[in-house]
Amino acid sequence: MKQFPLASRKVAKKYRPTAQGRQEERILKILTRQEELILLTVHQLGDESHLINIRQYLIENTDRDWSVSSVYVPLDRLAQIGCLNERIGDPIGKRGRRAVKYYSLSEEGKEALANHRELTNRFWEGLEGISR
């Protein structure tokens, strides 16, 4: 299997033998930690997943500051590669404000998270003695 850096936007191909011994191709998107947290946040927030709520949730749950661009850029990238669905909502706040863009996890995004979790678990196997 060709190795890609974790931050790569390329798609790695993983081959798994089937019961008949053939090779079955499966796509594995390599997510950065930031993208993983954003996808998980979108899933947690459900229908209220827009930029400001996502950023606030990340700040509260990671105890670090997230700039608007540190959330918006990966959100946009995840939407472009099909991990997130976007929909435009009604404008909120004062008159003349822009419409809000809401995000939801696509089937491809769910698969990417499941694959990422499986990959992470494989790396943690045998390291159960590590704790805080």
**Residue 89, domain CATH:** 1.10.10.10
Q: How far are the Cα atoms of 11, 62, 97, 102 from residue 91, in angstroms, in the given order?
A: 36, 29, 6, 11
Mean pLDDT (whole number) for 18-36: 63
118-123 contacts, C-beta under 8 A, 24 or more apart? 119/28
Contact 73, 84 (CB under 8 A): no
Residue 96 pLDDT? 64
Query: Is residue 68 in a domain?
Result: yes
Question: What range defines the domain where residue 79 resides?
Answer: 32-112
Residue 7 pLDDT? 42
Q: 19 and 69: one domain?
A: no
Q: 66 and 54: one domain?
A: yes
Percentage of the residues of the chain whose pLDDT score is greater than 90 = 55
Please tell me which residue, 23 or 117, carries the higher pLDDT value: 117
Number of structural domains, the chain? 2
Q: 75 and 22: one domain?
A: no
- Report the predicted TM-score, pTM, of the whole model to 2 decimal places: 0.73
Q: 58 and 71: one domain?
A: yes
- Highest mean pLDDT among 16-25, 83-92, 104-113 belongs to 104-113
Mean pLDDT (whole number) for 111-120: 91
Query: Is residue 117 in a domain?
Result: no
Residue 21 pLDDT? 45
Rounded to whole angstroms, the Cα distance separating 84 from 106 reads: 5
Q: 7 and 71: one domain?
A: no
β-bridge mates for residue 86, sequence order: 103
Q: 40 and 100: one domain?
A: yes
Contact 39, 114 (CB under 8 A): no
pLDDT of 118 strictly over 50: yes
